[in-house]
Amino acid sequence: MGYQNLKVVETKGKDVQDAIQKALSILKVKRKDVEIEILSEGHKGLFGMEGPKPAKIRVNIKE
């Protein structure tokens, strides 16, 4: 199954920008052609007690 018919994708990354770049690459579109919803900003962890959490976004191609 390919990605050619996708209109919406959710991705994770080390930060929001990384997640956006992954989504744009999957959808093969430019940033101006999409709407971006940040689901989680992620974080690096807290004093080594809590592990890092990736940023998570949802990207929709504009109609």
Q: Which domain holds residue 28?
A: 1-32
Inside any domain, residue 8: yes
* Chunked mean pLDDT (size 10), the chain, 63 residues: 74 96 96 97 75 92 90
Inside any domain, residue 18: yes
- The residue type found at 9 is V
pLDDT score for 15: 93
Inside any domain, residue 40: no
Gap between the Cα atoms of 51 and 20, Å rounded = 22
Q: What is the count of structural domains for the chain?
A: 1
Inside any domain, residue 11: yes
Inside any domain, residue 43: no
pLDDT score for 6: 80
Inside any domain, residue 12: yes
- The residue type found at 23 is A
**What is the rounded end-to-end Cα distance, in angstroms, of the chain?**
23
Give the E-state strand segments of the chain in sequence order.
Answer: 8-13, 34-40, 55-61
pLDDT score for 1: 43
Inside any domain, residue 41: no
